[in-house]
Structures are given as C-alpha cells and as structure tokens.
Structure 1
Amino acid sequence: MTEQTGSNHALATVFAIVFVDLLGFGILIPVIPLYASAFGANELVVGLLIASYSITQFVFTPILGRLSDERGRRPVLLVSLFGSVLAWTMFGLAESLAVLFLARLLAGAMGGNIATAQAYIADITPPEDRAKGLGLIGAAFGLGFVFGPALGGLVSSDAAIAFSRGLLPTFVPVTQFSLPSFLAAGICAVNLLVAVFALPETRSERPTTEGKSRVERLLNSLSDPALSGLVVSFFLISLALSGMESMFVLFTEQKFGYGTTMNGYVLAYVGIIIAIVQGGFIGRLTDRFGERAIAVTGVSLEFVTLSTLPFSPAIGRLLPTVGPASGGLLALLLVLTPLAVGNGFSNVSLNTLVSKSASDDEQGGAFGITQSAGSIARAIGPVVAGALYAAVAYWIPFVLGGLLMLPICYVLLTTVQAGGRPTPAD
C-alpha cells in the first residue's frame, strides 16, 4: 500500500467516524427541546439543557486535544466514542430532568473529540490541501445533520413507535423521545467498532514540552495575535449560532406548527446544503480566493440571514403556496439556504486558518483552544437566547446573533492576510 493510499484510507475512516458520530448527535436535535418540555421545562431550562453539552465540551476539548498530541489520536477517539454510547443510552432511559442533564454533560465531554479528529486530518494532509481535508470533515458534519434529524423525526413517528413496541421487550421504554436516543447510542456503538479495527495511529512522535504545564502552553498559544483573533471569531460565531439553534425548534413549533418530524426534515435540508458546500466546493473556492475571503463571505451571509430568520412568517404571508409547500415554508427555506451556505464557508475557512497558525506538534492543542472557545459560547448562547426568547421577544436571539457577525468580519479583516495566512506579530 502506498503512502498516498494509506492517507486516503485514513481520511475516509475519519470521515466515516465523524459522520456517524454527528449522525447520532443530529438524531436528537429535533427531540431535545420537546423532550425537556415533556418534563415541564420552560424555554430557559431548555436552553440550559442544550448548553450543558457545551459546558463539559468546553472543559474537555482542550484536554482531549492536548492528550492526542501527547498520547496519540487513536486512544482519545476510542475512549470518547465509548463514552458517547453510555451517554445516549442514559438519555433514552431518563425519567427526570436531572438524568437528562447528566447524560448531556457526559455526551458533551465525549464530544470534545472534535479537536482530535481535526488534528488527525492535519496530520495526514499537507498544508496546501488542508482546506480540502477539513472540508471533508465539515461535509461529514453536514451529512450527519442531513440524515440525523431526518432519522430522529422518522424514529419518533407514530408508525415507528407502534412497530418498536411490538418488537422490543416490555422493559425497554418506547416513546417518541427514547427511540431516537437509543438509535443514537446504537450508531455510536457501530462507530466505535469501526474505529477499533480501521483507525490507524498518526502520531509516531510525541512533542517535547520542556516541562511546561498545559495551562502555560495554552496561554503561550493565545499570545499569538493570529490565533487569539481566531479564538474570538470562534467564540462569537458559536455564540450566535447556538442561540439560534437552541430556539429554532421552539420558534418553528410556535410560528409554523412544526413538530419533531417536520423539524427533522427542515434541518436535514440545511444539512444537505452544508454538506454540498463543504464537500464539493470549499476546496476549489479556497484555492481561488483564499481562506479569508471565503470566511468573510460566509460570515456576511450569516449576518443577513440570521437577522432575517425571525421575520420569515411575515415574509411567508406574501408568498404563494407552491404544490405541497406553503408560503411560510418557502420563506423559511429562502432564509435557511444562504444561512447554510454561509455556515459552510465560515466553518471550514476558520478551521483551516487555525491549522495554518499552529505547528505540526500543536495541531491538537490549537484546535482544542478554538473549539473550547466555541464550546463555552455554546454553553452561554442557549441560556441567554432562552431567557431573551421567553422574557423579552422571540426575535431578539436571532437578530442579536446576526449582529455578532459584524465584529467577526472586523477580526478577519485585521488579523488575516488576503492570501489566508495569519498576520504575523510585529
């Protein structure tokens, strides 16, 4: 087997792992808000439940990323996949909000493996192909969100529940909430088995740390103005999108009357667009225009569409019904399509800039820092969005999220050169 063939196989394996991992996660997107509501949770508690995942992800992402630099990528990925199986099983068996929170906290800790997966890609791709490699990871995310919410909506349907009750033992709880959770656990278990037999290690050498603590190394990394600017960007964009995502299902339920199944289909559509952009176009566009231009374009699209999203019901009243699609659905898709394109652009471009700002020995740590910034933002965003949605006005979380894109544009334009390289410190 040639080195190139081995790298291609490794890339395909990581793609499959990330895809299946996100498939299990995506299954529960249309379920979690309504699951929590079934236990009497209001919008604020729903936001807290969603945020709990990101709280432990924030803590564990840099730890897992740095451990993968020191101990290898493979063991970190295997342990995190096993933990995900336990977390989603617990989620399906939950009989109280407290258990839901515990399961989400464990799932979030295991979700810190994303920095390790990104570092794995950086290990096996040269810098000039980094955007393409990370684009495939982004496509795996997108595809996970395509099929995940759709599967979640399908499994939570009345027909699936009736079928499962006749198939599963009576001691297994069968509801519109438990079935998607068990399916997510099963998918993660398959993912773990694949990784055990098909995932090679890429870290043949371990970095020399000269006795420095993890905290000292993280602080040294943040002293780089290019990386610190990207950390700020990750924080702001994650804050904006997490607030939107946490309230989206409640928004569509209240304004459009959509339940878990319809929301699953809408979110699947968004995932298709993201997967097409990240898997099919981002590499060629980056080669032609550079990471900075693509990132700025993506963030600009997100500014416009996030600000417009809460007004899609009013726009829909001006549109005709086309076949089975109502004017409201058409308006929603007209806003979500460029939002998904913008997300595909900004996500891959920002990650590529992070990779180029770090040395080979610091890939896991660098991705860990930026993903941690995203995680703490995702812990804050749903809570703030839930409070604003419930206490002030439903449209505020979306409009504020759009406005947060403006400082990201400023950071990108002032800390990154036109060719996509981080601006060196003076």
Structure 2
Amino acid sequence: MAVAADQRKKILKVLMTSLLLDLISFTFILPLFPSLLTFYRNQDPSPTSLLNRVFHYLNAYKNAFAKPIDSRYDIVLLGGALGSLFSFLQALAAPFIGRLSDKFGRRSALLCSMAGNTLSVALWVAATDFRTFLASRIIGGLSEGNVQLANAIATDISDASQRGSTMALVGACFSIAFTCGPALGAALSNITTVAANPFATAAGVSLLLILVETLYLYLCLPETHPRLTKLGQVTSQSNTTNTTTRATGNSTPRKHTNNPAVLNLLHFLFLLPFSGMEFSLPFLTATFYAGHNASPSALNGRLLSMMGLIASLLQGTVVRRLPPLTTVRAGVVACTISFFLLARVSSLPELYAAGGLLAVTSATVVTGLNSLGSFEAQEAERGAVLGRLRSWGQVGRATGPLLFCSLFWWVGREIAYTTGGFFMLAVCVGVFTSLESPPIAPATEKKDI
C-alpha cells in the first residue's frame, strides 16, 4: 500500500512527535537508578525487606567470582538486573502486542499500550517504597509497545523505496531521546516537591509527557493498518495485481528474501554481546580510571552523550539514504572493531574512538534489521512479524548484561571484550553470508520523507 504524500507526511509528523515524547519520558529514569535504589534501601533497612532480600541474592552471585566485586557496584548491578527484567517482560509482551495490532489495528493497540504506560509512570510518582516502584517497572515492561508499533505504522505508510529512510527516522528518535532525556531526568531529580518521594518531580514530568502523548495520539493519529484504514491510497500496477491475485485465490506460497527466523536469530545474537558491552561501560571507566582524579561517572556521561549525538546525526543524514543491508553490515563491522579496541584501550582518545564506532553501530544495526524484517511481513501479519523480531532482540538485551558482566568479573576486561569481539565476528559472518538485499520496486511517486 502506498499512502498519498500529504497523508503520509502528516502521519509521520504525528508518529515522530509522539515517539520522541515517549522515549524522552522513558529515559528520565535511566540515570536515577543508583539514587532511587539507595533511597529505597534507606527507607526500609530491615534485612527482611524485599530490596534487602534481593541484595542477599545479589551478594551470593558476587561471591561466585574469583575476583571480588566492590560493594560500591551493588546498586549498579541491581539497576542492571531491573533493566534485564524490563527487557525480558518486553520480550514476552511484544508478540502479543503485534498480534493485537494486526487484529484490531495499530491505533487501538497503541492506545492500549499508552494506558499501561500511564499506569506504570503513575505508580512511579506514588512509589514511596520499593514494592510500588518494582510494580511500576513490571507494568511498564509488559505494556511498552510504542517502538514496535511505530515500526509497524512506518511500514504501513511506506512503499519499498521509502522503507529504509522511514525506519531511520524512528531510530533517530531513539538517539535524540537518549541524548537529552537522561540529562533532563537527572536535572529534575534535584527538585524535591514531595518529601516522601524525592523523585516525584521527575516522575511527574514523565507522567505529563505520557498524558500529552496519549491525547495527541487519540486526536491526531489515524488507523494505518491496510485492512482497516480509510486513508487515500496511491495504487500501483503491482498493488492492483496483488489485490486481484488475492481475490481470485491464485496465490502462491510467499518466498522470503530473508527468512524472518534468520533475522530473529541475528537480532538476538547481535544484541546479546552488544547490550552486555553497553552495560559494562561504567565498570570499564571505573576500573580504567581507578586512582585518577577523573570522575568515572562524568566520563561515562560524556561518552554516552557523544555516542547519542553521533548516532542521531548519522540516522538523520547517512543511514536514511543507504540500503538496509548496507547499514547492518557497516554496523556489525564497526561493533566488532570496537570490541577488540575496548579490550586494549589505554588512553582517552582510544576510548572515544571505540565510542564513535559504537555510535555507528547504534545508528545502523537495529534500524537496518527492522527494515529488512518489514520487507518480509505481509499486510495481515506485519504486527506479529515485527513483534517477534523485537521479542528476540529483547531476549538478547535481557540476557546479555548478565552473561557479559559475569565474564567481565570472572576473567577480566581484556578477555571479556576479546571474547565479545570474536562473538561479534561470527555475527558478521552470519550477516554477510545469510542476508540479501530485498528487491525494491521504484516508488510510485516522488519520495516525501
């Protein structure tokens, strides 16, 4: 289905604006995990409290390592565990949300997702104890479907020639939000409005953004599912042929350029080491600069900000103009080099060089895989196919930090990153040998991104 240019432009504006609001709200909490967990631990120091029982199991995990882990990392490790829980819940929910959007429409599924997001952030506003905070994260993990539904909507309104550039815009929203959202969240956490919850200001602004986003989507986003939409369409000869074929029942089994199962597996295998590496960066900067005057937290913040800025610039300029397979290949190669570089980094320029390569990876691989996946999804199953693709990726995000950081503390930085580099090298082989560029028909009209 090709949507008329003016309608496509309007839907893209609504989609990108709402996604930015959602992701900025989502990233508020990321830099606050250490302070949040310290606050809840001080609120209830009893050994039988839920949080201290969690720390008991965390210490048992730490004691399994030959190399002791300093207690100052307890909060960081627990924050990572909560992040893994969130990703695991998203892996469970993503296929269901995708099927829901195929059956009832993208708009309905997205509004249902927003209802869950609203409840999640509202619980954070009211979270004066760890149980309530944990409940907010669980509900958020199970209901967060904005990103996968944004990909489905972007696919609905884009023909083959527009697909990669539209997916890059979705990726650019990620990079922009992760560049400015954490800084805004950290600034708002310094404003105390409720004594019982010093993070209520950041949580309240996050809730406000979610409510504005929900109202905006309700008023401005039309349904885009091809089976349910009333959007004006630009019908090409190939579309007419496909419609006739379906009507007469003379359809042939669909042949995939890239089998969705292969894309799912590569998504998982890529994010497994990549997410572990992302989570290990604070440990790397802390151990690398132990005994120096430089602040590891400040260094890590500057590094992540640089990576976010580079990624957003790449997605807004280069990535949207390249074929999806080219972006995936460039990203996995950059990631492989960065792993080997991080294994031997001994100076700030080398660290920033590795960060620049990781920014290239952040800007390309997931965006490209989503684009390739969208080519393999027929209209009736688009939400489900993209949901499964996201689910496999979230499994990688959930398990990667646990596995990689275990390796980091068992055998040390050099062996851990070198092992990650060889693992990513295997992913490179899979990408270069098993994936092909999908055939892209000429656009039915001039592209209007």
TM over 0.5, shorter chain: yes
Which residue in 2 is equivalent to 1:196? 218
Residues 31, 260 of structure 1: 8 Å contact kept: no
Q: 1:221 to 1:105 in 2, by over 3 A?
A: farther
- What secondary structure is seen at the aligned counterpart in 1 of 2:119? helix
- What secondary structure is seen at the aligned counterpart in 2 of 1:128? coil
Unaligned runs of 5+ in 1: 208-219, 317-327
Residue among 342, 352, 368 paired with 2:371: 352
Alignment partners' CA distance in 1, 2:151 and 2:325? 19
Cα offset for 1:88?
A: 2.9
Q: 1:206 to 1:198 in 2, by over 3 A?
A: closer
Which residue in 2 is equivalent to 1:56? 89
Letter in structure 2 aligned against 1:45: L
Which residue in 2 is equivalent to 1:299? 332
Residues 47, 386 of structure 1: 8 Å contact kept: no
Which residue in 1 is equivalent to 2:237? none
Alignment partners' CA distance in 2, 1:339 and 1:360? 34
Residues 202-213 of structure 1 aligned to structure 2 (within 5 Å): 202-203=224-225, 205=227
| Percent identical | 26
Confirm or deny that 1:73 pairs with 2:106. Answer: yes
Confirm or deny that 1:308 pairs with 2:327. Answer: no
Measured against aligned partners, the alpha-carbon deviations of 1:197-251 in whole angstroms (never above 9, x if no partner) come to: 11111125269xxxxxxxxxxxx99999621111111101221222122233344
TM-score (norm 2): 0.76
Which residue in 1 is equivalent to 2:168? 135
Residues 258-297 of structure 1 aligned to structure 2 (within 5 Å): 258=295, 263-286=300-323, 291-297=324-330
**Cα-Cα RMSD:** 3.0
Confirm or deny that 1:174 pairs with 2:198. Answer: yes
- What secondary structure is seen at the aligned counterpart in 1 of 2:144? helix
Which residue in 2 is equivalent to 1:91? 124
Confirm or deny that 1:373 pairs with 2:392. Answer: yes
Letter in structure 2 aligned against 1:193: L
Which residue in 2 is equivalent to 1:249? 282
Q: 1:338 to 1:225 in 2, by over 3 A?
A: closer
Cα offset for 1:283?
A: 2.4
Letter in structure 1 aligned against 2:31: P
Cα offset for 1:385?
A: 3.1
Residues 102, 383 of structure 2: 8 Å contact kept: yes
TM-score (norm 1): 0.80
Cα offset for 1:70?
A: 0.9
Residues 94, 100 of structure 1: 8 Å contact kept: yes
Give aligned pairs, total: 379
Alignment partners' CA distance in 2, 1:262 and 1:12? 35
Unaligned runs of 5+ in 2: 42-51, 56-73, 230-252, 441-449
Residue among 433, 437, 447 paired with 1:414: 433
Alignment partners' CA distance in 2, 1:262 and 1:192? 36
Which residue in 2 is equivalent to 1:339? 358
Cα offset for 1:398?
A: 4.2
Measured against aligned partners, the alpha-carbon deviations of 1:130-168 in whole angstroms (never above 9, x if no partner) come to: 001111101111111111122133334xxxx2xx33xx3
Residues 129-168 of structure 1 aligned to structure 2 (within 5 Å): 129-156=162-189, 161=190, 164-165=191-192, 168=193
Alignment partners' CA distance in 2, 1:222 and 1:153? 49
Cα offset for 1:182?
A: 3.6
Letter in structure 1 aligned against 2:362: N
Confirm or deny that 1:384 pairs with 2:417. Answer: no
Cα offset for 1:341?
A: 1.1
Q: 1:112 to 1:399 in 2, by over 3 A?
A: farther
Alignment partners' CA distance in 2, 1:36 and 1:50? 13
- What secondary structure is seen at the aligned counterpart in 1 of 2:412? coil
Which residue in 1 is equivalent to 2:446? none
Measured against aligned partners, the alpha-carbon deviations of 1:401-421 in whole angstroms (never above 9, x if no partner) come to: 43332222222222222x445
Residues 303, 355 of structure 2: 8 Å contact kept: no
Cα offset for 1:263?
A: 4.2
Which residue in 1 is equivalent to 2:46? none
Q: 1:262 to 1:51 in 2, by over 3 A?
A: same
